[in-house]
Chains A and B, each alone.
Chain A
Amino acid sequence: MATTLIPLRSFITLLTLYIAVGSYVLYISYSSPIIGIEVVKQDDRLVIEHFEYPDWAELHEISKGDILIAIDDFSPYKLEHVAPDGIVRSAKTLTVMDATGNNKEIIVLYHELPKAFSHFFILPLIYFLLILSLAIYLYKQKSGNVASLNILIYFLLTVSLAYCSVGASTQLHPVGSIVNSTCLILCLVLLIHFLQKYFAFLRIPWRFNKNIWILYLITVCVFLVSMIEIFNSAFFTLNTIIILLLFVALIFYILIILATSYTRDRSIQLQILFWFIVLPFLPFVIFYVLPELLFQQTILSPSTCAISLLCIPFTFTFMQVTERLFDVDYYVSRIRYYVLFAGGMTVWLMIGIDSFLSISILTNIGIALFIFISIFVLLCVKEKIDYVYRKVLFSTNGNNIHFLYSIIDKVGKEIKMEDLFNTLSDQLMKQLEMNTVYVIHYDMETEQISLANAQSEENRHQLQLTPKDLHQLQVGSIKKFQTFYVACLHRNIKTKYFLILRTNSKIHLKKEELLWLELLLHYIDNFVENTQLVEDLMFELKQAKEGQNYPAWLHKLCWLQLEEVKSQLGQELHDTILQEQIFLIRELDNLLYERDRNLVQQRILQIHQQLITINVQLRLYCEQLKPPLLQTLGLEAALTKLFNQTEQRAHFTLMHSIEPLLIDDNEMSLLIYRLIQEMLNNAITHSKATYVKIELRALSQGFHLFYMDNGVGCHLEDLCLSGTMGIIGMKERVAAYKGTMVIDSYPNEGMQFDITVNKGG
């Protein structure tokens, strides 16, 4: 498979050959204008029976029935072989005898035959030049897949030659005939070859003839047969039929290839290819080939039919240049949209014009065409202007928006710079079909470049970037270098981050991709800034953890929290125990003056009892602050005590099953204790349940805690999450240990908590 482009030398030789052959056949076409006069032989005379261009005949006052005396100064007797089918195709001069017996010599001038001139010379010439420039452009641009590009260039040149030689071939000029016949078949063979390469590029399996050389052999045969025809004109009709049959057969072969492939692999490229080939061939097949084969008569001349075929090379170039699915989709949808818009508008305007002015149909069509093209061009120009000045783009499928969304979504989840750059690079590689995307770090002081994300060793390409380039690039701007793009991602005082995008083949980002990338860069700039802040903060915390040197703000936060708790506690102690003690002090003070010994003893007993009550109360406070037994007898004993206390206070049945933890972790024991304490407090104060069930299961590195009751429950959105139930506190505690907490509740359907904390996973 050819994976490199045709060498420059061969390309120049090819072009020279093309120009030489093309110029020669065009010269033949020009030197002898096509007149298309049908004659019949009557008594050794050639009587004119039909004019292809009656306007021209009228101009020279010749009519049907006139006798053709000489062509190009040759007597018709010697020219019989020129017109074996009775058609005088071309002539420089004609001598005609009219009905009155006057001989008239007519010099055939192309400007008197505008239709023939445009068909056989002007259009082929324009096409010849167009294809020439297109081939040079494609060769220089090297866009798309190289293997199919070579074939495409051959194909373009062949089609052009086939078309240019139509004039010469019509004149039955030997060179014209050979070029025309050979190129007609060769271009189809090349088309099949192109399809094979293009399929390989699209990774669609090629299930047809793999030996393309057989088809090339056929072309060689056609060339030889055409050569024979020069020496033996008897072959003419047979030859024409053979070539036409071959032509039709190849066309059907191509259509079969496309149709069967499309049924297997419904890609938009195949669909477009199919219509690009079928549509231009339809007029040729319907109006020329089939009538010629079936009735030996044509409806339209091949030159007229061929005009539609001329679109094929351009459509293939379009496929080649815009090879990616996204592009095809994008362009097709845009063109369809503009055509619909321009068409609708044209119909509306034409209705208006027709109702005010009465003009001929031809003028009507002309005006309609003019309006249509104007609107279409206007829309395209508007799009260009919108892009340049307003950064607005036509887009129907929103692919770019979608990718922007998904990239931002993925990148936004990263909390480390390196991860962020890796994710960004991966995503861009996929979206822009790049081979390598990575981020470099540029130190503006030392002018050193280093990799910011170590994707792989492959990334270490030698970048020919000068410090000046890098200094000049501002955040959000993209610059194209020879083989890669550089985009500035982010900068701070000392450093800049650059994104490098590179493909193995020729790189070319379209304007919409560039605009998209620019927008993404602005987002990423913000992300990098925030991620850096997070990283700094994490670093500070890590340092603090290692050196026991917590940051000042954390100290402050802890102190403030502590002060709040102290203040709450102080208030509660003040309102309860302190007041009761003040009462006892007064009582004791009174007792000092009490003379009745019995009464004193009685009062002392009462005070003793009161003190015990206060003591119990205070003990409860202490237990609230520091769970009893947890440190001395462990979690199970502490929970058993908690359950016993709850059963004494609560109106529900408490069912519990506690598994001993597998790990000895005081913090985790406290966490479990606090969670269960909070659940039971809620159950007692809010639930109105008739039962509560608590299960604690040990996990390898943590625990699973399940709670359920059949109480009043609530809507999760409102009551549960209001501060009253301490659920937020529970959630925060669980979250601090990287656990999960699922709450399930509906009004009157009880409440369930499902908590899992597992350090190991």
Chain B
Amino acid sequence: MINILIIDDHPIVLEGSKNLFNNIDDMRADTEKNPANIPEIVQKTPYDVYLIDINMPGTNGIDVGATICSLQPEAKIILYTGDQIEDYYSLIVEKKIHGLLSKTVTKERILRTIRSTMDGDIILPWSFVDFVQKLDQPQISKQPLLLNEREKKILQFVVQGYTNSAIALEIDLTPRTVERNLSHIYHLLNVTTRTEAALMAKELKLID
């Protein structure tokens, strides 16, 4: 028998969630809507699995989970949220929780997740693998860096060794405008000179 405590401040969610376990033989669920009572409950009657809502007034599910773990280290904490669960993958990596469940998933998925958690497994969407992969290669933009037409032209002239005034004449702008555009490009590419900008632009294939 798996004893489950559902912690949520919304009575309607509590009732709906509790009903999920009505006809399940190996599971029994209780509810608690006041997070402040949790330490007392955990000490008096510890549960096997805690399904905790994240957004609660005055506190949040992560902190409540941490409190429970400190009182009952073997407890299984599953965050049960209406938010996108992808946002909380980091908590799994940091071993702060044992599972994540969206409030909109099916009954079957909820039961499966609880059982797996009790067995020491994790059930998560495939997107978790993307998240873990990205941890090793941060800051990779999904889209390649692109310059606008004017910036491209200016950089091409820079590569050819034109001065600002010459570039301004070529593309019918004031030298001041060219200067400002170039300084934007320097800032974008984190460089300080024309040569560096030209080299970097070629390296990043920003110009042909």
Contacts and interface: CB of A to CB of B under 8 A. Distances in A.
Interface of A: 612, 615, 619, 628-629, 631-633, 637, 641, 647, 652-657, 689-691, 693, 708, 710, 746, 748-750, 752
Given A619-B83, A746-B180, A690 B188 contact: no
B192 interface: no
A629 B87 contact: yes
Given A632-B54, A708-B184, A749-B184, 9 more contacts: A628-B87, A632-B55, A647-B141, A647-B142, A652-B143, A653-B145, A689-B148, A708-B187, A708-B188
B139 interface: yes
Contacts, number: 67
Contacts of A654: 141, 143
B129 interface: no
13 contacts: A628-B83, A629-B83, A632-B61, A633-B87, A633-B90, A653-B143, A653-B144, A654-B141, A691-B145, A693-B187, A710-B147, A710-B148, A749-B181
A649 to B, nearest CB: 12
Nearest to A712: B148
Contacts of A750: 184
B190 to A, nearest CB: 10
A647 B143 contact: yes
Contacts of A656: 139
B150 interface: yes
A641 B146 contact: no
Contacts of A633: 62, 87-88, 90-91
B146 A691 contact: yes
Interface of B: 54-55, 60-62, 82-83, 87-88, 90-91, 104, 139, 141-148, 150-151, 177, 180-181, 184, 187-188
A691 B150 contact: no
A690 B141 CA distance: 13
Contacts of B144: 653
A314 B170 CA distance: 75
Interface-central residue, A615, A633, A752, by most chain B CB under 10 Å: A633
B168 to A, nearest CB: 13
A619 B82 contact: yes
Given A690-B146, A708-B187, A748-B150, A612 B104 contact: yes
A605 B66 CA distance: 38
Interface-central residue, A632, A633, A652, A690, by most chain B CB under 10 Å: A632
Contacts of B184: 708, 710, 749-750, 752
A632 B104 contact: no
A689 B184 CA distance: 13
Contacts of B187: 693, 708
B147 A615 contact: no
Given A653-B141, A691-B188, A749-B177, A632 B146 contact: no
A612 B141 CA distance: 29
B11 to A, nearest CB: 18
Contact of B87 (A615, A641, A647, A710): A641
Nearest to A695: B187
B59 to A, nearest CB: 10
Nearest to A651: B143
Nearest to A691: B145
Contact of B139 (A632, A657, A749): A657
Contacts of B145: 653, 655, 691
B141 A655 contact: yes
Nearest to B82: A619
Contacts of B54: 632
A637 B87 contact: yes
The 9 A-B pairs with the shortest beta carbon distances in the complex, nearest first, are A690-B146, A653-B143, A632-B60, A653-B145, A690-B148, A710-B148, A647-B142, A653-B141, A629-B87
Interface-central residue, A629, A657, A691, by most chain B CB under 10 Å: A691
B143 A615 contact: no
A641 B180 CA distance: 32
Contacts of B181: 749
A637 B90 contact: yes
Contact of A693 (B62, B90, B151, B188): B188
A312 B188 CA distance: 77
Given A612-B104, A655-B141, A708-B187, A691 B147 contact: yes
Contacts of A653: 141, 143-146
Contacts of B90: 633, 637
B147 A632 contact: no
Contacts of B148: 689-690, 710
B169 to A, nearest CB: 18
A615 B102 CA distance: 12
A647 B140 CA distance: 12
A653 B88 CA distance: 25
A260 to B, nearest CB: 53
A243 B142 CA distance: 106
Nearest to B138: A640
Contacts of A619: 82-83
Contacts of A637: 87, 90
Contacts of B104: 612, 615
Nearest to B152: A690
A500 B141 CA distance: 70
A654 B87 CA distance: 19
Interface-central residue, A631, A655, A693, A710, by most chain B CB under 10 Å: A710
A54 B140 CA distance: 119
Contacts of A652: 143, 146
A749 B188 contact: no
A750 B148 CA distance: 10
Contacts of B141: 647, 653-655
A750 B187 CA distance: 13
A631 B60 contact: yes
A656 B83 CA distance: 24
